[in-house]
Amino acid sequence: MTRLADALERANSRAGGPAPARPAGPAAHAPLAAAPAPAPALALVNAAPENDPRLTEGPSLLALPRRPNGPAGWRTDPELIGKLVGTDDFSSGAREQYRKLAALLHHGQVERGLKVVMTSSALPGEGKSLTAVNTALTLSESYQRKVLLIDADLRRPTIQRIFGIPPVAGLNEILKSNEDTQMTVTQITERLFVLPAGRPDSDPISGLTSQRMQRVLAHAAQLFDWVLVDTPPLGLLPDAGLLTSFVGGVLLVVRCGKAPYSLVRRTVDAVTRERILGVIMNAVDLAHDRNAGGYYEYYGYGYGGTPDKK
């Protein structure tokens, strides 16, 4: 059984669901995605689009603001207090878990050039957008890195709503334009910037899987230390495999009791196990685990050893 399969089965059992059926015989321990041997989580980080010089030719599709231009009320928003890193009442244990997650990403960047990371889930409502925001805040504040957070969930934009950015123009307008259009990103803090989704789009697949999307990521990688991309749920995205090929790796968020095990498994197959940096188990009840110190579990393939439990 792979570490990922073990993590998913543990989440399924915590949520009170039935144990997923496994065939008898040698196939009982087959990995979720066929591979000759378990691959390290960061094996394909060098596939990031910034490595292709053809994608950075011509004028940049992104521009930095001359002065801070983003709303500043998110830190005191009653709906966000306690949910976002940097707000009052945010759990110290959860903050430490995000720092550990950021540390894994940092090591991946130092050792293998990881720079463009996608956060996604199998279904809506699993917490992928909050995970993306908190990871971006941690990298920009604890690690002092210049971070661009891209709201690429064009059907249901969440990042721009969290930060109170008006849905006027953003990624969707870049992708839909008949010619290259430069978009000024929104500055949230000293080192955190957001490219909002723009106006919602009921059929975003062609834009998200286009060469222009690749160019957006490649230009972003030139301007920022980190590029985090919050995408539509991969379990509902027909071209999930193509979209994930544009990034260095995927953080898959799984909310206990939400997505069926079979759907999460199909999502893993679509992404391919080698591209998954780790699985974040969200909304796990660890109240009785004195050693947990957090509200979710994170499983990363990492650099050998057993999965990290947070």
Least confident interval from 24-38, 49-63, 96-110, 206-220: 24-38
Residue 5 backbone phi and psi in degrees, to 5: -60, -40
- The reported pLDDT for the residue numbered 73 is 87
Residue with the bigger pLDDT between 49 and 261: it is: 261
Count the Cβ atoms, other than its own, within 10 Å of residue 66. 8
- In CATH, what is the architecture of 3-20+27-300? 3-Layer(aba) Sandwich (3.40)
Dihedral, CA of residue 37, residue 107, residue 276 and residue 162, to nearest 10: 170
∠ CA 50-220-271, nearest 5°, is 65
CA distances from 45 to 80, 116, 131, 251, 261 (A): 32, 8, 20, 13, 27
CB 234 within 8 A of CB 105: no
Least confident interval from 7-11, 95-99, 243-247: 7-11
Residue with the bigger pLDDT between 98 and 308: it is: 98
Distance CA 170, CA 199 (A): 7
Residue 309, pLDDT above cutoff 50: no
pLDDT digits (tens, 9 = 90+) for 24-66: 333 333 223 323 223 333 333 334 455 565 676 667 899 999 8
Q: What is the mean pLDDT of the chain?
A: 77
Q: Using 50, 70 and 90 to split pLDDT, how confident is the model at 214?
A: very high
- The reported pLDDT for the residue numbered 7 is 56
Distance CA 90, CA 69 (A): 25
CB 17 within 8 A of CB 263: no
Residue with the bigger pLDDT between 254 and 25: it is: 254
Residue 143, pLDDT above cutoff 90: yes
Distance CA 3, CA 15 (A): 18
Least confident interval from 49-53, 86-90, 121-125, 224-228: 49-53
> Distance from first CA to last CA of the chain, Å, rounded?
21
